[in-house]
Structure 1
Amino acid sequence: MESRGFIKMLRDCNVLNKRFNDAAADIIFTKVKDRGERFIDIHDFALALHFVAEEKGTTYETLVAQICERVATHAPDAHGTKAAFTRLHDDKDTYTGAY
């Protein structure tokens, strides 16, 4: 898992707040990953969750339960844009048949 995915997972599971933000999560990710690596494995992920729980002032079990409950009941949040309606492309009455 990369830092981007770790932070997105924490954001989607409502773990981040004003006191524990993206920067704090990135610092924890950097602390647990090996030097020169971009990814963490499952053992480093568990260690990172221990640090997150400590930073938030909660227990590891409570944090894992919160994440598991959110993952089990919700799909990942999509943070994309939606294209605007374009008359010549989306309206079938204006098709010319040229292409």
Structure 2
Amino acid sequence: MAQVKVKGARKIGFGEFEKALEQVAAKKGIGMDELKEKLCANEGPKVQATQPDFVKFHDDKSTYTGVYANGGPTNVDDKGDLASLCDRSPADNRGVKTNS
């Protein structure tokens, strides 16, 4: 509530929260104890997202084939050091290294 928040602040502290609860209780015409009971009885936020349908060939891992049946490709392969990746020694047209 704007009456309890300090101007320019983005959040309120616990003391300000208690003042806001007092204002809510007064506005609803109930006591603080009753308001606190209602707040504690609340289950919290509820997720109401759409649940996806089961897709056999995606969700059932027993139907996987090829490399994915064995865990799939990885990007953690051992490729050696940077010098072997950036080998710029002479090669023929097919990429075979020459002894020059």
For the aligned pair, the TM-score class normalised by the smaller chain equals: 0.5 to 0.7
SS at structure 2 position matched to 1:49 = helix
| Structure 2 gaps, min length 5 | 73-100
User: C-alpha distance in 2, partners of 1:57/1:48?
Assistant: 14
Spell out the pairing of 1:1-99 with structure 2 (5 A cutoff): 29-68=1-40, 70=41, 74=43, 76-81=44-49, 82-98=51-67, 99=72
For 1:35-64, what per-residue CA distance to the aligned partner results, in whole angstroms no more than 9, with x for missing partners? 111111110110110111112111122111
> Computing the radius of gyration over CA atoms, which structure comes out larger, 1 or 2?
2
Aligned residues: 67
RMSD: 2.1
| Structure 1 gaps, min length 5 | 1-28
> Percent of counterpart pairs with the same letter?
34
Q: Structure 1 runs of 4+ off > 3 angstroms?
A: none
Tell me the CA shift for residue 80 of structure 1: 4.4
SS at structure 2 position matched to 1:58 = coil
User: C-alpha distance in 1, partners of 2:7/2:54?
Assistant: 48
Return the structure number with greater relative CO, CA threshold 8 A, min gap 6: 1
